[in-house]
Amino acid sequence: MDQFLITGRSRIAGEVSISGAKNAALPLLAAMILAETPTTLRNVPSLQDVRTLIKLISGMGIDVQKEGNTVTCDTSSIANYFAPYELVKTMRASILVLGPLLARFGEAEVSLPGGCAIGSRPVDQHLKAFAALGAHITVENGYVKAKAPKGGRLIGCEFTFDMVTVGGTENVIIAATLAKGTTVLENCAREPEVVDLANMLVAMGAKISGIGTSIMTIEGVDSLKGCDYSVVADRIETGSYLAGALMTGGDVLTKNTNPNLLHPVLKKFEEMGAIITTGDDWIRAQMHGRPKPVDIRTQPHPGFPTDMQAQLMAVCCLADGTSTIIENIFENRYMHVPELKRLGANIKVDGHTAIIRGVDSFNSAPVMATDLRASMSLVMAAAAAEGQSVIDRIYHIDRGYENVEEKLRGLGVTIERINPNKPHKP
Ligand code: EPZ
């Protein structure tokens, strides 16, 4: 199992180009299934999760090709509507193929995604909404079997989500595009990745209003065509690299991004004492001295994103005072805490609340990545620590950060990927 060998202490400074967003690319790839003619998707990040979803869609007989960061998809050869457990269990967002299959072909058999490290992550809202659209849903032997009503088309409806769900909103918007009649969805997620998906669906010929708001109206159409679309920049990758500057008195310029995607994060960075400057497609964070402590509550967009919680906690660990974080989205998203404590952090967790008392510096130590965003918080902490740290199970980071070593090296981090089970190349 690969590990990272990181030698601190580094001042994280330099320029980094931001990739397309993983959490936009995945629903966009699923939505390509809707198109009756070929689609081209650009700025697709080369990540494990993207490779998994492409493999899953190819398994249906669909012709999906990825050349660099461009994916082309031709659905004319589709042969089945099946998503196997072997793939879905490795990438939960695979459930997003359910909506397009059901909408276009009137049937789908998709493995229930398991939970994951950060929570049970049920999909009850997705299934409840599909039923409201007239689908017959059964769950047998760990698979969701869905069938559109007689005639093969979903029927537009009014549906309100019981809680804000990004994947649920995405799956149901996709399904509603081809339903008979109009669908009104309330309590929708407003994340930038949901907006990106809706914008691509409109480019394919869908009729959607209320994009970016919590009430979306989708007027069903008979068919959708392919389009040429580019994935929105990754706001979480952007925030992760900027956080490194705050931890090390650094100076990071992120390019090919968009400051409008992560205002709540930039506001917190400024509260912590960073100098934030922005342009249309770039953001710079300069830091002098220690971060100031802050209080953070994770919330659905436009609140503070849960996917930045672990990275901000690592910054709080070095703050000049006590910070509090309340994680409101997932029930188990503090697994980075014991690992940060191994690096010298002073953190107490009580239910959903973490109290972080700032320390002067991290010390190096061997630690273990537990989930995607936790792994980046450990990388930044190890880079800020004096001495050599080893981070185990870094397959987590490969799921969501494209060319991560190269980008970190470009920011002054001394990092090497090693595998203790393979002889170390001198
Ligand atoms: C998406 O996950 C993201 N993943 C997550 O990013 C992100 O943390 C999350 O949204 C919240 O912003 C992708 O987009 C691929 P949810 P998703 O449905 O859609 C509960 C990362 O690190 N819920 O908004 O699965 C759920 O348990 C990942 O990139 C139900 O109860 O998240 C959670 O507590 C991690 N029933 C809350 O809602 C449902 O049917 C929010 O989940 C659906 C969700």
Instruction: List residues bridging with 369 in a β-sheet.
Output: none
Last residue of a domain, one of 179, 199, 230: 230
Q: For ligand 1, atom 27, which residue shows the shortest CA distance?
A: 121
- Please check whether residues 9 and 105 belong to one and the same domain: no
Number of structural domains found in the chain: 2
What pLDDT sits at residue 163? 97
- 304 within domain boundaries: yes
pTM value surpassing 0.95: yes
Query: For a pocket test of ligand 1, which of 130, 165, 262, 329 has the largest count of ligand atoms closer than 8 A to its C-beta?
Result: 165
Atom of ligand 1 nearest to the CA of 300: 12
Place of tokens 């918080």: 377
> Residue 250, exposed/middle/buried by CB under 10 A (0-12, 13-18, 19+)?
buried
Q: Domain span at residue 403? A: 3-19+234-418
Task: Tell me which residues of the chain have a pLDDT lower than 50.
Answer: none
d(CA 89, CA 340): 28
Q: Which atom of ligand 1 is nearest to the CA of 121?
A: 27
- Determine contact, residues 102/175, Cβ cutoff 8 Å: yes
Instruction: State how far the alpha carbon of 10 is from the alpha carbons of 47, 362, 422, in Å.
Output: 26, 12, 28
**Residue whose CA is closest, atom 8 of ligand 1?**
307
Q: How far apart are the first and last CA of the chain?
A: 19
d(CA 122, CA 173): 18
| Closest approach atom of ligand 1 to CA 128 | 40
CA of 88 to the centre of ligand 1 (A): 15
Residue 139 falls within a domain, yes or no? Answer: yes
**Closest ligand 1 atom number to CA of residue 305:** 12
pLDDT at 37: 98
Asked if residue 29 lies in contact with residue 41, where contact means CB atoms within 8 angstroms, the answer is yes
Kindly state whether residue 425 falls inside one of the protein's structural domains.
no
Q: Are residues 386 and 403 in the same domain?
A: yes
Residue 382 counted as domain residue: yes
Same domain, 163 and 241: no
Distance in angstroms (rounded) separating the CA atoms of residues 168 and 166: 5
What is the number of the ligand 1 atom nearest to the C-alpha of 306?
8
Residue of minimum CA distance from atom 25 in ligand 1:
167
Assigned domain for 295 exists: yes
Please give all residues whose beta carbon lies within 6 A of any atom in ligand 1, as ranges. Answer: 22-23, 26, 93, 119, 121-126, 163, 165-168, 189, 306-307, 329-330, 372-373, 400
For residue 334, tell me if it sits in a domain. Answer: yes
Res 188: pLDDT:
98
Mutate to test the pocket of ligand 1, among 166, 195, 401, 402 (most ligand atoms within 8 A of CB): 166
User: Which of 188, 329, 371, 373 for mutating ligand 1's site (highest number of atoms within 8 Å of CB)?
Assistant: 329
Same-domain status, 261 and 335: yes
| 35 shares its domain with 144 | yes
Residues 180 and 124 in one domain: yes
Single out the residue in 176, 203, 230 at which a domain terminates: 230
Give a three-class secondary structure readout of 86-112: HHHCCCHHHHHHHHHHHHHHCEEEEEC
The DSSP secondary-structure symbol of 68 reads: T
Same domain, 201 and 280: no
Residue of minimum CA distance from atom 28 in ligand 1 = 307
Same structural domain for residues 164 and 191?
A: yes
Residue 423 pLDDT = 66
Query: Ligand 1 mean position to 82 CA, how many Å?
Result: 23
Rounded to the nearest angstrom, the distance between the alpha carbon of 400 and the centre of ligand 1 is 15
For residue range 289-312, what is the model confidence (pLDDT) as tens digits?
A: 999 999 999 999 999 999 999 999
- In 70-165, where does DSSP find H-type helix? 85-88, 98-105, 124-132
**Which residue's CA lies nearest to atom 18 of ligand 1?**
165
In a domain, 423, yes or no: no
Nearest CA to ligand 1 atom 3: 23
Residues 13 and 59 in one domain: no
- CATH number of the domain that 62 lies in? 3.65.10.10
- Ligand 1 pocket test, pick from 118, 121, 297 with the greatest ligand atom count within 8 Å of Cβ, gives 121
Q: Does one domain contain both 293 and 401? A: yes
Is 426 contained in some domain? no
Q: Are residues 294 and 394 in the same domain?
A: yes
Give strand ranges (E) for 68-197: 70-74, 82-83, 107-111, 136-140, 143-147, 158-160, 182-186
**Of the residues 230, 252, 285, the one at which a domain ends:** 230
Tell me: do 163 and 190 sit in the same domain.
Answer: yes
Which residues are known catalytic residues? 116
